[in-house]
Amino acid sequence: MKHTFAVSIGGAAGQGVATPGNIFARIFARRGLHVLAYNAYQSIIRGGHTFLTIRTGPERINSFGDHIDLMIPLNQDTMDRHLHLLGPGAAVVYNGDTIKPGSAADGVRLCPLPVSELTSNSRSKLEQNTLCLAAGLSMMGVGFQPLEEVLTQQFKKKGEAVVNENVGMARAAYQYATEHFAPFERPLPMTDNKYAVVTGNMALAMGGAAAGVKFYCAYPMSPSTGVLHWMATHARKAGIMVRQVEDEIGVVNMAIGAAQAGCRAMCATSGGGFALMTEGLGMAAMIETPVVVIDVQRAGPSTGVPTKTEQGDLWQMLGAGHGDYPRAIATPTDIVDCFTIIPEIFNLVDKFQCPGIVLTDLLLSEGTASAAPSELEFKVPIDRGELITSANGNGANGGYKRYLITDSGISPRAIPGVPGHTHTVATDEHMEDGVLISDEFTNPIKRRAMMDKRQRKMAGIEAAVPPPKIVGPRNSEVTLIGWGSTKGVIEEAIELLAEEGITANHLQIRWMVPLHGEAILHELAGARRTIIVENNYSGQFARYLRSETSFVPDGHIRKYDGEPFMPHHIVEAVKEQLAGKTKLSVPMHEIMV
């Protein structure tokens, strides 16, 4: 089994859970270790309960795992809620002055810090956080210097005195821990790699910048707001126009306007905001203007659980808007893929002049992961398709037809400002030259020709995207099928199943549209037992796959409590299904946040 180490920090919102979390992540990544973090939190600015788990190790981390090695409760509530999750070998580091431990399992080490004694000169209210962090690092076998570097960097702006005070306090706690608490059995390893630490929302935004997005607009909506924040912070350096708009209807229409004028334009939202955008998506398809909309799913319906994850928007994406129209829907499979997929979908929608949807969720968007700098390569291939940006000597109105009927369904697209190509695009049905056929000239033959032209683009889109493939031994006992963000946890579950002698392979869907139904049927033809894993109530992907291919799996594993799957949830579900106990497993989440 891979060597990993997981730290969980819990407290009330506003108590400063994020800062030690970020410091851990940075120190681990600078040590050449991979990290993955998931923050279980609530929709409250001050108070409530937040529980952040950061897992690290020399190999890529697939999920936040099943075990906590070190817990840092910043308040009594956290101790009371989660001490029972810890098993032998784990430790709890806490402020011994204010927090009382309950009864822990055998082999769990309770490590109280005498905070007031160690910080007699400090005025900081967040001192216990730094002390616990320092003590934890000591027990992990990490030297003091990396923490000193991070703290110096963090407090630099506040002057030398503040730096010295914080570093001094941390050093005292570090030494106290070295003297009083035994180190963890396996010290944290170190490699020569160096990683960046990035959230999914940041990766989506950076992917946009890499793709050449020049126009980004949004209305704030959890859990997609991080994209807006990165864009707003980096807009001037990146040369991107970033606008906060009055509502999501305005967002999508503004983005389409910018795209029509020639920019690569992007926007992000969550399910409720996306609902407002659907009419706009139909417009993008009808006027054949490429635009990319990111939907970051949270638990629905309606306002739902704004800070919790779900994969419940799939059918909303498939059915967004009235009428039939070509679209592409991509579902990134991990945080780094949030970066990679954006330039890919822009090239696709620019070429095929249709809307593109990136369907992800809170687990990825607000999760944090390590990435090698080479995985965040900004220099990506850019293909804008048949775009006319200059007259090329064609000064007169030489019969340019914006919606020229072609075999591919793609018509050369002139942007406003180019002489000799004036035309009007319309959401009404229109003819090749853009003139409406919806009013007094309705014409079934022309209408059919235009529908055929637009829908022909789907064949090209399907050919431009690779079909999904099964990963793992063909003759496995179980084939686990997932989509989007569940890739990592399924991979880890497969490793755990292997340890128990159960062979499983894996089919992860990254493109919902085009789905490649025939290829999927071919892949699944020899599967012994198929189980679809998804983070929703009704099996939205299972229903979609059946509607497209008539494929019916042997079983389902679903979860709709707001929290993501943990590896053991899938392992136990597979085992109960192999034992014939059920065809539908709905694991119960054990961590209460």
Partner 1 sequence: MATTEQVIKPFTIQELKGKADPDWCPGCGDFGVLAALEKAIVDLQIQPYNVVTISGIGCSSNLPGYINTYGMHTLHGRALAVATGVKLANHDLTVVVTGGDGDGFGIGGNHFIHTMRRNVDLLYLAMDNQIYGLTTGQASPTSAIGMKTKSTPFGSVEGPINPITLALAVGCTFVARGFSGEQKHLTDLIKQGLQHKGFSFIDVFSPCVTYNHDNTYPWFKQRVKKLEEDSAYDSSNWQMAIERSHQWGEVIPIGKFFQRDDLPSLDQAEPVLDTGGPLALRELGIPPEVAREFITELM
* Residue written as token pair 């005292």: 172
Residue 593 interacting with partner 1 (CB under 8 A): no
Q: How many CB atoms are closer than 10 A to CB 540?
A: 23
Query: Smallest distance, Å, CB 237 to partner 1?
Result: 5
**61 contacts partner 1 (rule: CB under 8 A):** no
CB atoms within 10 A of CB 407: 9
Secondary element (H or E) of residue 328 = strand 328-330
According to DSSP, the β-strands at 368-371 and 196-199 are antiparallel
> Which CB, 280 or 587, lies closer to partner 1?
280
Residues from 517 through 546 that contact partner 1 (CB under 8 A): none
Minimum distance, C-beta of residue 214 to partner 1, in the bound complex (Å): 4
Which residue number, 85 or 211, has a Cβ lying nearer to partner 1? Answer: 211
Give the residue among 309, 262, 317 at the shortest CA–CA distance from 290: 262
Out of 378, 528, 583, 590, the residue judged to bind partner 1 by CB under 8 A: 378
Binding string, residues 152-191; x marks residues near partner 1 by CB under 8 A: ----------------------------------------
Q: Does 90 bind partner 1 (CB under 8 A)?
A: no
3-class SS of residue 21:
helix
Residue 33: CB atoms within 10 Å? 25
* Count of residues touching partner 1 (by CB under 8 A): 78
If residue 165 lies in a helix (H) or strand (E), which one and from where to where?
helix 160-180
Cα distance between the two ends of the chain: 29
Residue placing its CB nearer to partner 1 in the complex, 284 or 533: 284
**Cα torsion for 103, 54, 166, 158, to the nearest 10°?**
-140
- Within 15-54, the residues that bind partner 1 by CB under 8 A are 29-30
Site for partner 1 in 285-314 (CB under 8 A): 287
The reply to whether 443 sits near partner 1 by the rule CB under 8 A is no
Instruction: Tell me whether residue 14 or residue 373 sits nearer to partner 1 (CB atom).
Output: 373
Q: Rounded distance, CA 29 to CA 34, Å? A: 6
Two tokens, residue 268: 């992000």
- By CB atoms closer than 10 A (0-12, 13-18, 19+), residue 406 is middle
Q: Which of 405, 425, 521, 578 binds partner 1 (CB under 8 A)?
A: 425
- Cα separation, 46 vs 96, in Å, equals 23
Stretch that binds partner 1, among 51-59, 312-320, 430-438, 528-536 (CB under 8 A): 430-438
Name which of residues 392 to 411 contact partner 1 (CB under 8 A): 397
171, with CB counted inside 10 A (0-12, 13-18, 19+), is middle
> Among 85-93, 103-111, 296-304, 423-431, which window interacts with partner 1 (CB under 8 A)?
423-431
Looking at the Cβ atoms of 266 and 509, the one nearer to partner 1 is 266
Q: How far is the CB of 415 from partner 1 (least distance, A)?
A: 6
User: Residue 125 or residue 379: which is nearer to partner 1 going by CB?
Assistant: 379
Residue 14 near residue 74, CB atoms below 8 Å: no
Indicate the residue among 323 and 580 with the shorter CB distance to partner 1: 323
Q: Which CA distances in Å does 116 have to 76, 120, 173, 261, 343?
A: 17, 6, 11, 62, 52
Instruction: Verify binding: residue 420, partner 1, rule CB under 8 A.
Output: yes
Site string (320-359) toward partner 1, x via CB under 8 A: ----------------------------------------
Contact positions with partner 1 (CB under 8 A) in 186-245: 194-198, 202, 206, 209-212, 214-215, 217, 234-243, 245
Residue 488 beta carbon to partner 1: minimum distance, rounded to whole angstroms: 20
Q: What is the per-residue binding string for partner 1 in 255-274, x denoting contact by CB under 8 A? A: xxxxxxxxxxx---------
Q: Find the part of the chain contacting partner 1 (CB under 8 A) among 66-74, 92-100, 379-387, 518-526.
A: 379-387
Closer CB to partner 1, 373 or 526, in the complex: 373
Cα–Cα distance, 220 to 201 (Å, whole number) = 13
H-helix or E-strand containing 133?
helix 127-140
Other beta carbons less than 10 A from residue 411's beta carbon: 19
Q: Which segment (62-70, 75-83, 309-317, 378-386) binds partner 1 by CB under 8 A?
A: 378-386
Strand order in the sheet with 478-483: 470-471, 504-509, 478-483, 530-534, 555-558, 584-585
> Is the link from the previous residue into 301 a cis peptide, with omega within 30 of 0?
yes
